[in-house]
Structure 1
């Protein structure tokens, strides 16, 4: 029973590998909205919303379904479990940021 949270941690790291794309898309969308459009950019950001929705929403639904399943069997407190799951999901993205040239 004590190893169940370690399995959930590993699954969240594995979910974070394809999660690099939705995380990057959300970062790009937020950075584009906060910094304003480029002076030579003619495309409005509203065209990105369907693309982001098609990629991010299924990923979030999958992430929540997997983690709800593991949460029921985990000995951790709910707050601790969700925090560790979110941090483990961001590990691959963080590794790419740190080790990018």
Structure 2
């Protein structure tokens, strides 16, 4: 069989779709484990500055360092994770060619699954 015949065979095409989606699921769930750290950093930033200023949250009593630690630690961590996530998903998406409007939201939600699990468990 040639590769063209494989695409015309419905069973092989369905198997290829399942395999490619399972790769996307595995990549995004794996990226979601270290992705807990950037999500926590964003939550900590939101609680201590804008939400505390609005009165919707109480500021951490020992948080008096200002913005410099966020520029030195938080920004590189968020940038590095975002770049790693985008590059990994770009490669997986190109290998499977799903519609963009479906792939990117699903990837984002799958990456957030470990964070949601930790929220529920802890």
TM band (smaller chain): 0.7 to 0.9
Tell me the residue number matched to 2:106: 84
> Which sections of structure 2, spanning at least 5 residues, go unmatched?
1-15, 54-58
Whole-Å separation in 2 of the counterparts to 1:11 and 1:23: 18
Tell me the residue number matched to 2:27: 11
Tell me the residue number matched to 2:40: 24
How many residues align? The count is 100
TM-score normalised to structure 1 length: 0.87
Whole-Å separation in 1 of the counterparts to 2:61 and 2:117: 32
Q: Residue 43 of structure 1: CA displacement?
A: 2.2
Tell me the residue number matched to 1:95: 117
Q: 1:11 to 1:94 in 2, by over 3 A?
A: same
Which one has a bigger Cα radius of gyration? 2
TM-score normalised to structure 2 length: 0.73
Tell me how large the CA RMSD over aligned residues is.
1.7
